[in-house]
Amino acid sequence: MEQLIPIGIFLFVLFLLLGSGVWVGLALMGVAYVGMELFTSRPAGDAMITKVWSSSSSWTLTALPLFIWMGEILYRTRLSEDMFRGLSPWMARLPGGLVHTNIVGCTVFAAVSGSSAATLTTVGKMSIPELRKRNYPETMVIGTLAGAATLGLMIPPSLTLIVYGVTINESITKLFMAGVLPGLVLAAMFMAYVAAVSVFSKRFDPIPEPPMSLVEKLRNSRFLVPVICLILVVIGSMYVGLATATEAAAFGVIGALVLAAGQGSLTLSTFTESLMGAVRTSAMIALILAGAAFLSLSMGFTGLPRGLADLIARLDLTRFELLMALLVFYIVLGMFLDGISSVVLTMAVVEPMIRQAGIDIIWFGIFIVVVVEMAQITPPIGFNLFVLQGMTQHQMTFIARAALPMFAIMVVMVFVLIAFPELATWLPDNIRQRPGG
């Protein structure tokens, strides 16, 4: 019971600051400062300066702005058009037809972007007009795009996994590898849903694609070569142990610049725009991480995380019950906060719980990313819903309903992960890793 007072004060100050429009990073610092002043005798200002500097000077964190910049460069290329031209001949004959280009296109772009919003915008700006032209159901077009774009949070390089790894001091390379198989399984589940709807729904009646010979299909596939090469450079260099996550990010930026130059879309203007976009996003995430690090320190001094972990232990929850409680908790939290904020805000309390319960920390990273993915398509703050609203001019309620089946599939994915934890742990346990990865 003695933990309820600091919990109440922390939550009151946090919601007061967030509700008044203060940036998330500054709100976290404000909560931590109040906690330090009220519950400890240590000078809050000195502690804040030390912690903010130490959290911001992490070498591992260098991968974050590099991967963001890579995604920004690719966003300004003709990559989405090339992907559609390369993928559509192979997808047209599958049950569900060209809707699969949404899912496969998002999966491919997620492997070079790391950002859900960049994946959604890049793939959507090309696929939506093309699928509408061919009379595909609007709910299917919008829903698959909203759901598949969240793969940018799981398939490496994932910004959320970088933030999670930095927060809990775990190998980014191992977390990246852990996301590969679950990401592909989730994409396959989305595709299976599309195939099932195309078979059983009477409203699914698109204009059929003209037949194409194998030679023509292979000729169109050449448009996929540049992005596949980039994926192999980024992920392959980490998998075979040639590069750490940070070095792979640097390779990715160079590869993206070469790809943009080869397409003729690299100008001084696009270079500057991509660089400034990466700086803005990186600065926002770095501020959130710095605030979260100070909040973790402050909460540690109050003994709050350990107290809550002990409370959970006394409740004698099974591992499954704890994961179900965390599933509901993160879904609710995701309705009001973006994914990265949710992760850094809660890790100080959640990490001791999961370690005490004997849950694998790498596996839990993938679990939390799947749940955070759900938050991207849940109102009122689901970021992908806002991006799609801007692209399609549909009502938010229409987009949320269209994305609902994808949300349900992600819930199923959580149970698949619990039933088959090797999906997330097999690759990390079998990769060769460079020191510092």
Is-contact 116 148, C-beta < 8 A?
A: no
Measure the CA–CA gap between 74 and 77, rounded to whole angstroms: 5
Ranges of beta strands (E only) in 170-300 are none
In this structure, what DSSP letter does residue 236 have?
I
Other CB atoms within a 10 A radius of the CB of residue 100 amount to 24
Dihedral class, residue 177 (left if φ above 0, else alpha if ψ from -120 to 50, else beta): alpha
Is-contact 291 32, C-beta < 8 A?
A: yes
The contacts of residue 184 (CB under 8 Å, 6+ apart) are 107, 155
Torsion angle, alpha carbons of 228, 216, 188, 94, to 10: 170
Is-contact 35 8, C-beta < 8 A?
A: no
Measure the CA–CA gap between 224 and 81, rounded to whole angstroms: 10
> Using alpha carbons only, what angle is made at residue 182 by residues 425 and 233, rounded to the nearest 5 degrees?
85
Residue numbers in the chain where pLDDT is lower than 50 = none
Q: Residue 435: what pLDDT?
A: 53
Q: Residue 366: what pLDDT?
A: 93
Question: 426: buried, middle or exposed (CB in 10 Å: 19+, 13-18, 0-12)?
Answer: middle
Phi, psi of 42 (to 5 degrees): -75, 140
Q: Residue 345: what pLDDT?
A: 74
- Structure-block tokens of residue 340: 């990265």
Location of structure tokens 């402050």: 298
Is-contact 308 302, C-beta < 8 A?
A: no
Q: Residue 305: what pLDDT?
A: 60
Q: Residue 185: what pLDDT?
A: 93
CA distances from 88 to 5, 107, 113, 154 (A): 58, 14, 21, 24
Measure the CA–CA gap between 390 and 371, rounded to whole angstroms: 24
Sorted by where each begins, the domain ranges of the chain are 59-429
